[in-house]
């Protein structure tokens, strides 16, 4: 039985594994090996560094092919892939499975390493097929998966609310990973990749590291939370002295992202926090704008944002929710999923197990 599904992306590896209660009895060799690997992954700083929520992310009482068990979700940097392979070798991961389902660019890039280092065959699946399959599976099996924001930019009134996604088609998926892929999904197994943009989560992190000297995504987000992007961006009111009413552009709309950074005084007045916030807002608004145009072109009103860029990142989620609603005059709905970056990994595991995707 294949236990592991891996999505080896441009920045993060997403690892999902299924721990069936019936087969893995307490004393079995497999249970022991699995628990060693699990303990290592959760406690080793290289693997636990992606935030508190990761350690607790699991789905209990999941049924797969007649077995009931737990799905565990773990992520670690793709740059740690070699360390992971050494761990897999030393903990005997190959005794648990001879085949590991893998997706993402790294399934191709690291295929030879898996074979050579741990004698594992990678059963490769396309990352976008897997993404759709994973969304389908998790939505069907996790009641509280899909949500949206009411009054996203009003701190007092903002509410996170459950969205009933049981009748989802058609919908747009905006997968914000290192880069961004936008897919229109019309029915199970029937989708197309509408477009993509290279200005994604990797761009946010890369620019933030350059501009602020931060070293991690968590640091970049923490800086952004304390910053003010209007110190960096040129607003409509900086140009018009107020609103531009003829075309309904309010004074506080960003006219030019980073547009204030042509003045030495303004550069001197902008803090690391302001620069981080402006980078986050620039990347998020650009993605929101492309997503909105795609939705309009495709005649689709439900837009589902996924990918690890949204991890611990309510600023971007609320901004996307607001932008989709405001610029579409309330016709488009921004939706979010709790397992934001894991769908590719889940999907490739499910595809191999052929559980109705």
Ligand X SMILES: Nc1ncnc2c1ncn2[C@@H]1O[C@H](COP(=O)(O)OP(=O)(O)O)[C@@H](O)[C@H]1O
Ligand Y SMILES: CC(C)(COP(=O)(O)O)[C@@H](O)C(=O)NCCC(=O)O
Catalytic positions, please?
Answer: 127
Q: Is 134 in the site for ligand Y (CB under 6 A)?
A: no
Which residues 196-235 are close enough to bind ligand X by CB under 6 A? 201-202, 204-205, 217
Taking the complex as a whole, how short is the minimal distance between the CB of residue 131 and ligand X, in angstroms?
A: 10
**Beta bridge partners of residue 207, listed in sequence order:** none
Which residues 173-232 are close enough to bind ligand Y by CB under 6 A? 177-181, 196-198
Q: Decide: helix, strand or coil at residue 321.
A: helix
Which entry of ligand Y, ligand X, none binds 114, CB below 5 to 8 A by partner kind?
none
Residue length, the chain? Answer: 357
Q: How many residues interact with ligand X (rule CB under 6 A)?
A: 19
Element (H, E) at 4: strand 4-8
Which entry of ligand Y, ligand X, none binds 272, CB below 5 to 8 A by partner kind?
none
Q: Is 18 in the site for ligand X (CB under 6 A)?
A: no
Taking the complex as a whole, how short is the minimal distance between the CB of residue 105 and ligand X, in angstroms?
A: 8
Q: How many residues interact with ligand Y (rule CB under 6 A)?
A: 12
Is there a contact between 304 and 172 (Cβ–Cβ < 8 Å)? yes
Q: Alpha carbon of 86 to those of 11, 19, 89, 143: distances in Å?
A: 19, 22, 5, 37
Q: Which is nearer to ligand X, 229 or 308 (CB)?
A: 308
Taking the complex as a whole, how short is the minimal distance between the CB of residue 289 and ligand X, in angstroms?
A: 18
**Beta bridge partners of residue 187, listed in sequence order:** 190
Which residues 85-114 are close enough to bind ligand Y by CB under 6 A? 104-105
Alpha carbon distance, N-terminus to C-terminus of the chain = 18
Candidates 69, 168, 341, 347; binder of ligand X (CB under 6 A) is: 341
Which residues 98-137 are close enough to bind ligand X by CB under 6 A? 104
Taking the complex as a whole, how short is the minimal distance between the CB of residue 214 and ligand Y, in angstroms?
A: 21
Q: Which is nearer to ligand X, 260 or 316 (CB)?
A: 316
Quick note: the x/- pattern for ligand X over 276-315, rule CB under 6 A, is -------------------------------xxx-x----
**Beta bridge partners of residue 302, listed in sequence order:** 333
* 175-201 residues labelled b (16+ CB within 10 A) or e (exposed): bbbbbbbbbbbeeeeebeebeebebbb
d(CA 157, CA 258): 30
Q: Which is nearer to ligand X, 178 or 260 (CB)?
A: 178
Candidates 10, 170, 196, 314; binder of ligand X (CB under 6 A) is: 10
Candidates 9, 20, 152, 347; binder of ligand Y (CB under 6 A) is: 9
d(CA 80, CA 47): 9
Would you tell me how many other CB atoms lie within 10 Å of the CB of residue 137?
23
Q: Which is nearer to ligand X, 212 or 308 (CB)?
A: 308
> What are the helix (H) ranges across the chain?
29-43, 45-48, 52-56, 81-90, 105-109, 111-118, 127-141, 201-212, 217-226, 236-240, 264-269, 272-298, 314-327, 343-353
Which residue of the chain is nearest ligand X when measured via CB?
9
d(CA 289, CA 276): 20
Which residues 48-67 are close enough to bind ligand X by CB under 6 A? 50
Burial grade of 53 (CB within 10 A; 0-12, 13-18, 19 or more): exposed
Q: Is 10 in the site for ligand Y (CB under 6 A)?
A: yes
**Quick one: three-class SS letters along 130-163?**
HHHHHHHHHHHHCCCCEEEEECCCCCCCCEEEEC
Q: What is the largest CA-CA distance in the chain?
A: 73
Which residues 153-182 are close enough to bind ligand X by CB under 6 A? 177-178
Which entry of ligand Y, ligand X, none binds 205, CB below 5 to 8 A by partner kind?
ligand X
Interface ranges with ligand Y (CB under 6 A):
9-10, 104-105, 177-181, 196-198
The residues of the shown chain that bind ligand X, judged by CB under 6 A, are 9-12, 50, 77, 104, 177-178, 201-202, 204-205, 217, 307-309, 311, 341
């Amino acid at each position: 039985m294949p236990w592991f599904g891996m999505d080896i992306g441009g920045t993060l590896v997403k690892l999902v594994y299924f721990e069936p209660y019936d087969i893995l009895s307490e004393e079995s060799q497999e249970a022991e090996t699995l628990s060693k690997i699990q303990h290592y992954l959760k406690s080793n700083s290289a693997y636990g560094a992606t935030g508190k929520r990761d350690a607790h992310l699991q789905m209990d009482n999941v049924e797969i092919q007649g077995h009931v068990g737990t799905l565990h979700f773990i992520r670690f940097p793709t740059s740690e892939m070699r360390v992971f392979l050494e761990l897999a070798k030393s903990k005997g991961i190959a005794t648990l499975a001879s085949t590991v389902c893998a997706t993402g660019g790294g399934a191709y890039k690291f295929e030879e390493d898996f074979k050579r280092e741990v004698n594992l065959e990678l059963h490769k699946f396309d990352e976008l097929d897997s993404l759709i399959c994973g969304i389908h599976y998790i939505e069907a099996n996790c009641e509280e998966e899909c949500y949206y924001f009411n009054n996203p930019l009003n701190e007092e009134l903002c509410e996170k609310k459950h969205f009933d996604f049981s009748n989802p088609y058609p919908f747009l998926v905006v997968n914000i990973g290192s880069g961004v892929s936008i897919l229109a999904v019309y029915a199970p197994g029937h989708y197309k990749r509408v477009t993509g943009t290279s200005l994604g989560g990797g761009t946010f992190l890369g620019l933030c590291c350059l501009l602020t000297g931060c070293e991690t995504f968590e640091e970049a987000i923490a800086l952004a939370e304390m910053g003010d992007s209007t110190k960096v961006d040129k607003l409509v009111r900086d140009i018009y002295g107020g609103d531009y009413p003829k075309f309904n552009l309010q004074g506080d709309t960003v006219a030019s992202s980073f547009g204030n950074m042509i003045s030495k005084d303004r550069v001197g007045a902008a803090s690391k926090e302001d620069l981080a916030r402006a980078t986050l807002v620039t990347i998020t608004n650009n993605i929101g704008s492309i997503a909105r145009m795609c939705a309009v072109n495709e005649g689709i009103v439900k837009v589902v944002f996924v990918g690890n860029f949204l991890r611990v990142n309510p600023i971007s989620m609320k901004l996307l929710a607001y932008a989709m609603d405001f610029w579409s005059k309330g016709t488009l709905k921004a939706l979010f999923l709790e397992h934001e970056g894991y769908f590719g990994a889940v999907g490739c595991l499910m595809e191999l197990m052929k559980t109705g995707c």
